[in-house]
Structure 1
Amino acid sequence: MSFPQGTASAPALMVPDGTCLRYGDLRRAMSPWQKATATLRDKGLVLLFADNSLSTALCYLACLESRHTIMLADPALNERAVSRTLSAFQPELVVRPPRTLRLPDGYLPADEAIWRRSRIDTSPVHDEPALLLMTSGSTGAPRVVCLSRENLFSNADSIVRALGITETDRAITSLPLHYCYGLSVLNSHLARGASVVLTHQSPTSRGFLRQLAETGATALAGVPLTYQALWPILSRQWPSTLRTLTQSGGVLNNVSGYARLAVQRNSRFFVMYGQTEATARMAVLDTAAHPEAIGSVGRAVPGGKFELLDSGEIVYRGPNVMLGYADRRADLTTGDRMDGVLRTGDLGSLRDGNLFLRGRVKRIAKVAGKRISLDEVESAFRALDTTAVVESEGVVMVFCMAEVDAARELGREICADLGISPAYLRIRQVDNLPYSAAGKIDYQALK
C-alpha cells in the first residue's frame, strides 16, 4: 500500500479558504518541491519546519515520492535548538525555516522558503530511512526516530482497517503535522483515497468547529487536553457532519461520557495507543462495539501484537516498528536495527486481549526506601481534578488544580496506602499545567 491514492476527481487536500486539490492535481502541485530536491544527490536529507499548511503537506509528499529522507520539525523550535539539529544532521535542504531564524553558517538562501547547504561533505543516507520525527531536541541534544516507507504504509493501512476509513471520510488537522499522531491522520486518509482539511486553527478555538462544519469534515483526532476543552461545546452542539472521533496521547478521564455522547449522535469514539517509535498507533478500542473494555486502549492494530515481560513492560511487534534512533547524520547510514520489536517503556496488563496501561517504567521513584509509581499516584489524584506528579530530591511533588484541603486529605490516604509518611508528599495548587506541543503534560518543565 502507498499514498496518496484516490480517484482523480476525488478531493484530497482542502483549505478552509475554498482551495481544493483533487487527487488528479497532486502530482502537478508537488512538482515545485520535486524540482527543489532534484539537485540533491541520489538520496538527500530535507529538514521541513512543518506547520499545518498546504505547502507543508505537498513538500512532505514530494519527498516521499522522490525517495529523499525528510525530517519534520516544530516551527516553534528556538534558534539554539535549530543550530544543534543542523550541526548534528547536516540536511542538504532546510524548508520553510521560521522567519525569526538567522541564516546559519554553511547554508545559502535558495529562495525565501529554502536554505541550501553550501557544501556537500556529508555521510550518505541509507536507502531505508524515509521519515525522521524528533523525540527530543528542544532543550538538549536532538534525537530522531527513523521510519521507513514500509513503516508508514503498513501503519496507514492498519489504521484504515481499524477505524474503517472510507473514501467518503474527511479529516481535519486538529493536531500538528510534525507530531506522529497528527501526521498519521494525513497518511491514513490519503492512503484510502479520503480527504484532509488543512487548518491552522486550534481545535479549542471558536473558529475551528465552524471550519469543521463548513468544510464537511467527518473525523476529529485529539489528545486528552483537546477533549477536555471541547466537552462543554460538543455536549451541547455536535457538528452534523462529524461521525468519527479518535483520542490518544494519554489518559482521558471522560471516555465513558464521550462514548455515550458519540452513540447518541450516531457516531463512533475510538481510544488509541501509540508511540512515535511505532510510526503512530499500536492499539485501538471501539468504545461502542466494546463498552465492556472501556478503561483499556483496546487490541493491537491489524498486523501488530503485544507481549508482556515479567516486569510488566509492554513489548510490541509489528511492521510499523521504527528502524531505530539517530542522534547524528552518521546514524542514518544503516538500515533496520529493531527487527520489528519495540520495548515500549510502558507498564501494562492484558485481559481478554485488551491492553490496560499502568504507567511508565521510568516513572518509578524511590521514596523513603520504597518504589513508587508516579503514574499511579497521579491517577489517584485525578479523581479530584487534573494533576501532574513528579519526584524531586526524594519527595513526591503533586501539582493539582483541585482545592488544597481536598487534595491534602486525599494525599494522606494515598500515603497510608503507599506506606510512607505524608512528609514525603507535597502538594502545590496551580491554575494551569504546562503541556508539550503534542498535548502531553511537560514533566520536565515542572521539575
Structure 2
Amino acid sequence: MLKTLHKVSSHSSKILARDDGGDVLRYGDLTDHENFWREAIPERSFVILLCENTVPHLGAYIGLHAAGHAILLLPAKISNAHLMQMIETYQAQAVVSVQNGLVRCEQHYVRSEALHPDLSICLSTSGSTGSPKLVRFNDRQLYANAESIAEYLDLTEDEIPLAHLPMEYSFGLSVIHSHMLVGATLLLSNASVMQPQFWENFSEATSLAGVPFHYDMLLRIRLEKRDSKNLRTLVQAGGRLPKDKVLTLHDIASEKGWKFHVMYGQTEAGPRITWLPHSCIPEYPDCIGQPIPGVEVELVNEEMVIKSSSVMMGYAETRADLSEGDVMNGVLYTGDLAEWVDDRFLRIKGRKSRFIKLQGNRVGLQEIEDFFASIDIEVVCKGVDDSLTVFTTSGPKEKISETIIENFSFSPRSFNVVLLDEVPRLSNGKIDYKSLNALGDGGV
C-alpha cells in the first residue's frame, strides 16, 4: 500500500522526505528499499521497527511494508525491558533499528504462528504507559483514512508538512500517509518546539500538526510573533484543547492568513474521525466538529459509535491474535460520550472509561495504579486531558514524582502528586472516586 499510496512515478526524483540531518528520500528510491527488505527478510514476518522521524526510519518502514511484512511501530527510546516484553508477547521474528544512520536487523523468533494475510500495521494503544495491547490494521483501512484526510484538508503535491509528531503515534503516521497520497514532501523532524531546528523547519513548512501540549508551548513562546513564508495550515488533535486557546489560535491564524482546524480521532479509527473547520470555530469553539468523509457517527446512549472503512481489524494481546481477521466490521464504540450541537457538530461530554490524554498520548489510569501496586506503593489516579492527579499515602511526594517521570516519561507539568492520610473508600471496600474528586488537587 505505501509504495503505491502515492501518485508519483516510481522513477521520479521528487523528494518524499528530508530530515534534520539533511538526508533525503525520493519517491524513485522506494523500489530499492522494497528489494532490500525482500532479501534481508525473505519470508513474511512480524517485524518490530524502532522509530524516529528520520529518512532511514521512513525508508525502512516503507520498504518493510512493500516487501509484505507486518510491522509493529515502537519508539526508538523504548526501554529494553518493554521491548523484550513486546518481542516475547508477539514472537517477533525481527527487530529493525537505525544506529548512526545505519539500519540494523536483529533476528529473534524463527518460527511463529501464521499472520493473517491482510495484517499490515500494528500500533500500540497505550501511548506511554507501556501496555502491550495492539491495534491491528490492513492496507484498506489505512488507505481509507489517508484518502479522507487528503480530501477534507484539500491536500496537494506542493504541501510541505512539518512531520514532527512521532511516526509510531497514529496522528503522526496519518500525517505521513495522507501527504504521501498526494505526492507531497515531508519535513521529518525529531526537534522539539524549544529547539532552533524546529523553527528552521517551521519557516519552510506549509502545515503543522500538533497536540494540545504543543499548542500550549507555541502560545507560551508567542506564536503570533513567529513568521513562516509558506505556512497555510495548523491542525490540532490528540486531546481536548480549552476553548479559550482554540479561539486564540483561530485569531492568530486568521490574522496571519492561515487556517486552524480542530480534529478528533482514536487510534482504533485509523485515526481521524471528525474535524472542525477554521471558519466554524468562532461559533463552536468547544466542539470536535463534523464526521470526516467516509465516517458516520451515531450516538448510542450518548456514546459515540462510528462506522467507517478505516476502523481497525481489532486488538491483539497475544501472537495468536495476529492471525485473526477483521472482527470489527467497520464499527467502533469509542467510549466517549457526546452530544450534537445544532444538529451539526459534535461536542464531547466525557469519557466512559478511565482514560485521559497527556501530551497527545492515551494514558490508562488503571495501568499507572497497577504499576505502583507492583512495587508496593498505593496510588489512586484521577484526571482530565493534560492534567493528571496522583493521590498516594506513601511519601515523600518527590520520590513518587521521580518514579512517574522515570517509568512513564510524563512531563512534570502534566501531573500533580497529592499526599493523603488515607484513601477514601466505599463500604464495599472499593475506592470512593467521588470523594477524591471533591478533594480536588489539594489533598487532606
Aligned to 2:106, which of 87, 90, 115? 115
Q: Distance in 1 between matches of 2:62 and 2:120?
A: 11
Q: Distance in 2 between matches of 1:140 and 1:285?
A: 31
Matching of residue 170 in structure 1 with residue 160 in structure 2: yes
Q: After TM superposition, give the deviation of residue 17 of structure 1 in Å.
A: 4.1
Q: Distance in 2 between matches of 1:346 and 1:392?
A: 28
Q: Could you say which residue in structure 1 is the equivalent of 2:213?
A: 225
Q: Could you say which residue in structure 2 is the equivalent of 1:383?
A: none
| Paired letter, 1:87 | E
Aligned to 1:292, which of 263, 273, 283? 283
Q: What is the TM-score of this pair, normalised by structure 2?
A: 0.77
Q: Could you say which residue in structure 2 is the equivalent of 1:3?
A: 5
Aligned to 2:304, which of 304, 310, 314? 314
Q: Could you say which residue in structure 2 is the equivalent of 1:187?
A: 177
Identical columns (%)? 32
Q: Distance in 1 between matches of 2:144 and 2:64?
A: 18
Query: Between Structure 1 and Structure 2, how many residues are aligned?
Result: 375
Aligned pair in 2 of structure 1 residues 159, 89: CA closer, same or farther (>3 Å)? same
State whether residues 44 and 92 of structure 1, in contact with CA within 8 Å, keep that contact through their aligned partners in structure 2. yes
Q: Could you say which residue in structure 2 is the equivalent of 1:13?
A: 17
Q: After TM superposition, give the deviation of residue 81 of structure 1 in Å.
A: 1.0
Aligned pair in 2 of structure 1 residues 326, 290: CA closer, same or farther (>3 Å)? same
Matches within 5 A, 1:56-75: 56-75=57-76
State whether residues 268 and 287 of structure 1, in contact with CA within 8 Å, keep that contact through their aligned partners in structure 2. yes
Aligned to 2:265, which of 266, 270, 274? 274
The 3-state SS of whatever aligns with 1:136 is coil
Q: Distance in 2 between matches of 1:349 and 1:317?
A: 17
Q: After TM superposition, give the deviation of residue 36 of structure 1 in Å.
A: 1.7
The 3-state SS of whatever aligns with 2:310 is coil
Matches within 5 A, 1:69-84: 69-84=70-85
The 3-state SS of whatever aligns with 2:146 is helix
Q: Distance in 2 between matches of 1:291 and 1:334?
A: 45
State whether residues 71 and 133 of structure 1, in contact with CA within 8 Å, keep that contact through their aligned partners in structure 2. yes
Q: Could you say which residue in structure 1 is the equivalent of 2:144?
A: 154
- What runs of 5+ residues in structure 2 fail to find an aligned partner? 356-364, 366-381, 394-400, 402-411, 417-433
Matches within 5 A, 1:220-259: 220-231=208-219, 232-253=221-242, 254-259=245-250
| Cα-Cα RMSD | 3.0
After the TM superposition, which of the residue ranges 332-341 and 15-24 deviates more from structure 2? 15-24
Aligned pair in 2 of structure 1 residues 252, 188: CA closer, same or farther (>3 Å)? same
Aligned pair in 2 of structure 1 residues 423, 258: CA closer, same or farther (>3 Å)? closer
Aligned pair in 2 of structure 1 residues 357, 5: CA closer, same or farther (>3 Å)? same
Q: After TM superposition, give the deviation of residue 181 of structure 1 in Å.
A: 0.3
State whether residues 16 and 183 of structure 2, in contact with CA within 8 Å, keep that contact through their aligned partners in structure 1. yes
Matches within 5 A, 1:48-447: 48-96=49-97, 113-117=104-108, 120-136=110-126, 142-213=132-203, 216-231=204-219, 232-253=221-242, 254-289=245-280, 291-310=282-301, 312-351=302-341, 352-363=343-354, 378=384, 387-389=387-389, 424-428=438-442
State whether residues 96 and 114 of structure 1, in contact with CA within 8 Å, keep that contact through their aligned partners in structure 2. yes
Q: Distance in 1 between matches of 2:75 and 2:413?
A: 29
Q: Distance in 2 between matches of 1:192 and 1:422?
A: 50
State whether residues 5 and 23 of structure 1, in contact with CA within 8 Å, keep that contact through their aligned partners in structure 2. no
Aligned pair in 2 of structure 1 residues 302, 426: CA closer, same or farther (>3 Å)? closer
Aligned pair in 2 of structure 1 residues 217, 421: CA closer, same or farther (>3 Å)? closer
Q: Could you say which residue in structure 2 is the equivalent of 1:46?
A: 47
Q: What is the TM-score of this pair, normalised by structure 1?
A: 0.77
